[in-house]
Structure 1
């Protein structure tokens, strides 16, 4: 009986053991393959799920490879500046460059329309198409942030419509060149196009208490009538998220930096703009603060505004109006621009004849422009030659001395954003 039971037990025990072994093997295989598949699926999921941000598609443009650079100018003015603006524009004109001209809303509609007619009807501009009027004029308040927004507006227009250019230069109708554009382009062709000429310092001194801590409101941000800024009674602390810099409102900025300011793939330009919206004389600090707090641009600065300006010592709110008494100092400064000039100031004619060689129409002849044998030719008779042909003169030597001195100075790098 017991033998029979033992035999029956053996019959079912062996299949049970085999089935358990088979089940264990299958479970092992299942777990191994599942974990391996899950691992592959997880890796594939992670690899394919990397987010594609718009910012990753935006980058600073490569610098232009043309041997001769191109400049983009903003020339701005206000009520009564129309004729001065036209004169400055002609003295600065070169077919390689791009120009935006702007009369603010304080100028009458007739004066602004006259500027539009002038640009449309001037044969040279019509022929080459590189001058544009900012027809949607801005209200610009002196010492207010609307001066900054006007500069950004013009820069955006020139980025959109001006093709390839290398530097952006902001001027007013009371500025005037001391060198020809052939001189400028000749000297600038030999330096890196990533450089930004922007006079700056972090030693803001008295400006901390008189400009950084007070809060001002610019009526130009919301009104159609120009009026002076006004102060709010409350004070604010100096920013701790970034360091403040100050300097000249006149500058020559590289295209990469202008794109950074306008396209805005980094939030720093917008944050700082919001702060400077309530800052007195914000054009003297906004661009400077952004460039010196941006990692990719802080080592591109040259602390000079490329201007001759006659100030009191210590400086007052306005510089002196320049006259013939300042002529030699202007020349000796080696600067390419000077300000500020009164309307129809007689020294401008001296600059035209002795430094620029302006013709009767107000243009500065160069390698690109010839009147042929007819010295009294009118504009339609002008022959536009190869626009990369430059004919630099004595102004190029002066400007070269200035630029070479700035870039070779022992403390050049030490002055960058300090």
Structure 2
């Protein structure tokens, strides 16, 4: 196990820090700036180069020596402001493949005073389980979920995996975290830890959850569904109305949750009854958080209710996603979602969201590598938060 050399510094301690290069094949700054001719050149570079990526076994071997692992991936030294120390965060990370990409995400969001729960899909390869276990063993504030689920797309198991990590994080005595952010391993941060803290302080204990009408998706919860052959399929059984005469709402599986909201979601009898009702629906993770946030009669703490003149969806700052209907993807679409390429970076870095979903570390690899370089250098400069925008939210 390593212990990080935490430096407690004044805000913006390295304002004049020289930019650090992580990528040498291309000039990432020109890509970030949106230079179209140079982006075309960078695409040719990616086509001509044979990239070598660490596999799960490589990552496990590196993490077996924690001090060496920390040195290679630069986990040891952190510039942490008192503002960040006084506002610890919790994270859940769901992963099912590619330890190298999971490690990239962990490294980007890691701070010694935060806490992290990693859920590795029960059906994932033994090599992934070993690699993630080795990485987690190097840090006192990173742990593997106590109960892993075999996650099936669109089934209740996806939501249960997050809830298992959330339960563990509520029970920990190591860190008294204030907010929890749930992530898939294919996301990457657009904000630094200090920026996230500054933004969340403006929310004054409220959660950031996507809430919209579920009318178009009624077929997903009006009839029962069942896992058949690793797929969720409807069966000929109509569901009874939801408990407490509540209105089902649709939203993202990902959000930014206050501690009080997480505690309610895990322990309140009303949340438990809603969970039970959602078990045989399609993609319950897209209905649970949104429905809790939608219905004031449930008395859920840490949510926004009845804000006149405000589009509630704007309150959702967790993640930016590009769907195929938007036709704005410079990468490729997988399951109707854009896997970002280098041509997307210019717009991504100006987004107000905390994270971007999604990246493949081995598809247009310069996209994730250049974003990683940009994000790292941003941690050594002043945290530029659009306070007026987030304060209005």
TM-score per shorter chain, which class? 0.5 to 0.7
Q: Quick one: distance in 1 between partners of 2:175 and 2:375?
A: 30
| Number of residue equivalences | 291
The DSSP-based 3-state class of the residue aligned with 1:234 is strand
Note if contact 2:156-2:279 (Cα within 8 Å) is conserved in structure 1.
yes
Q: Does 1:323 align with 2:303?
A: no
TM superposition shift of 1:171? 0.2
Partner residue in 2 for 1:280? 282
C-alpha change, 1:135 and 1:152, in structure 2 (3 Å) is: closer
Residue number among 140, 143, 161 corresponding to 1:132 in the alignment? 143
SS at match of 2:231: coil
233, 237, 245: which one aligns with 2:236: 233
**Per-residue deviation, 1:117:** 1.4
Please tell me whether the aligned partners of residues 152 and 231 of structure 2 are also in contact (alpha carbons under 8 angstroms).
yes
Q: 1:155 aligns to what SS in structure 2?
A: helix
Following superposition of structure 1 onto structure 2, how do residues 201-212 of structure 1 map, counting pairs within 5 Å?
Answer: 201=212, 203-208=213-218, 210-212=219-221
1:203-240 C-alpha deviation (Å, 9 max, x unpaired): 212101x2121211246xxxxxx812222122336537
5 Å matches for 1:320-359?
320-344=338-362, 345-357=365-377
Structure 1 residue ranges without an equivalent (≥5):
1-64, 220-225, 358-363, 367-390, 410-418
Alignment of 1:43-58 (within 5 A): none
Q: Which structure is higher in strand share?
A: 2
State the Cα distance separating 1:334 from its structure 2 match.
2.3
Give the Cα–Cα distance (whole angstroms) in 2 for the partners of residues 329 and 214 of structure 1: 40
* Cα deviation 1:181-204 (Å, max 9, x = unaligned): 122224334441x21000102x21
Report the equivalent of 1:25.
none
Q: Does 1:242 align with 2:272?
A: no
**Which of 86, 93, 97 matches 2:114?**
97
TM-score by length of 1: 0.64
3-state SS in 2 of match to 1:141: coil
CA offset digits 1:332-368 (Å, max 9, x no partner): 22222101111333211111212323xxxxxx9x5xx
Matched, 1:181 2:181: no
Number of the residue aligned with 1:385: none
Of 129, 132, 136, the match for 1:115? 132
Q: Which runs of 5+ in 2 are unaligned?
A: 1-82, 306-311, 328-333
**In 2, Cα distance between equivalents of 1:69 and 1:77:** 26
Instruction: Quote the offset at 1:140 in angstroms.
Output: 1.1
Decide whether the 8 Å contact of 1:85 with 1:173 is kept in 2.
yes
Corresponding residue for residue 68 of structure 1 = 86
The answer to whether the 8 Å contact 1:72/1:98 transfers is: yes
3-state DSSP of counterpart to 1:199: coil
**Contact 1:215–1:278 (CA under 8 A) maintained in structure 2:** yes
**Runs in 1 of length 4+ with deviation above 6 angstroms?**
none
Preserved CA contact (<8 Å) 1:100 1:133: yes
Report the Cα offset of residue 324 of structure 1. 0.8
RMSD: 2.6
Name the larger-Rg structure. 1
Deviation at residue 307 of structure 1 after TM alignment: 1.2
1:158 counterpart = 2:169: yes
Contact 1:145 1:218 in 2 (8 A): no
Alignment partner, residue 34 of structure 2: none
User: Cα distance, 1:109 vs. partner?
Assistant: 2.2
In structure 1, C-alpha distance between the alignment counterparts of 2:165 and 2:336, rounded to whole Å: 24
